[in-house]
């Protein structure tokens, strides 16, 4: 399985609620490049402030099969051996990096100490932003796209009705299909 995380804003956020960029996943690299070619670029039907206004259409499959000579890859050391990383993933990434180096890429290990604070920072921002949207019934992204204001208003009212600290209690519903 191959995945490609694009630069922020390269792929439209149409239908995506969140901050992370969304990219293609496929069985092989060429299919991943083909999918990126198809989904990257401006979405003219939706105005999203997270996406740059001018994006050129690029055929990412044209870069396949070329040499890796001249490609420089930085490996952030703080991404390995963290409490939330898996040893199998660490080793797979390091093996892939060695292979890229053997194929001609220049690899350099770098240190970004702030990387150790990413998970707690992201969590606090996501929770704070999500709760703010629920409490105030606001569109957190400020887009001009369709936004279900009635749903957000209902969520906001439910939170305020239940002491302002949590979502309303759920009812247990059982379902028995009839034959």
DSSP string, 63-101: GTT---TT-EEEEEGGGSS-TT--HHHHHHHHHHHHHHH
pLDDT of residue 138: 56
61 and 71 together in one domain = no
**For the chain, how many structural domains are there in total?**
3
7 and 60 together in one domain = yes
Asked if the structure places residue 177 within a domain, the reply is no
CA distance 21 to 7: 7
pTM: 0.56
For 69, residues 6+ apart whose C-beta sits below 8 A from its C-beta are 104, 105
Q: Which domain holds residue 132?
A: 118-161
85 and 132 together in one domain = no
Asked if the structure places residue 166 within a domain, the reply is no
C-alpha torsion sign, points 52, 61, 16, 116? negative
Asked if the structure places residue 73 within a domain, the reply is yes
Asked if the structure places residue 13 within a domain, the reply is yes
12 and 60 together in one domain = yes
Residue 67: which pLDDT band, with cuts at 50, 70 and 90?
confident
Pairing state between β 2-3 and 25-26: antiparallel
Residue 49 has pLDDT above 60, yes or no: yes
Region 41-52: mean pLDDT is: 75
Asked if the structure places residue 169 within a domain, the reply is no
pLDDT of residue 148: 64
Region 72-85: mean pLDDT is: 88
Asked if the structure places residue 41 within a domain, the reply is yes
Percent of the chain with pLDDT over 90: 30
Q: How many Å is the maximal CA-CA distance in the chain?
A: 65
pLDDT of residue 120: 78
* Of 29-33, 45-49, 105-109, 143-147, the least confident: 143-147
Region 154-158: mean pLDDT is: 72
Asked if the structure places residue 92 within a domain, the reply is yes
């Amino acid at each position: 399985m191959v995945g490609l995380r694009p630069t922020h804003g390269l792929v439209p956020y149409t239908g995506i609620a969140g901050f992370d960029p969304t990219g293609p996943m496929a069985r092989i690299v060429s299919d991943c490049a083909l999918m990126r070619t198809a989904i990257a670029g401006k979405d003219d039907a939706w105005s999203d402030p997270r996406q740059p206004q001018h994006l050129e259409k690029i055929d990412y499959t044209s870069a396949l099969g070329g040499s890796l000579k001249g490609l420089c890859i930085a490996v952030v050391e703080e991404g390995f051996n963290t409490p939330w990383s898996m040893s199998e993933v660490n080793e797979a990434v390091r093996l892939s990096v060695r292979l890229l180096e053997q194929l001609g890429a220049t690899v350099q290990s770098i240190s970004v100490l702030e990387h150790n604070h990413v998970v707690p920072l992201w969590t606090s921002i996501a929770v704070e932003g999500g709760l703010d949207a629920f409490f105030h019934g606001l569109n957190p992204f400020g887009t001009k796209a369709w936004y279900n204001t009635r749903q957000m208003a209902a969520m906001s009212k439910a939170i305020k009705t239940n002491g302002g600290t949590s979502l309303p209690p759920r009812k247990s519903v059982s379902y028995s299909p009839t034959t």
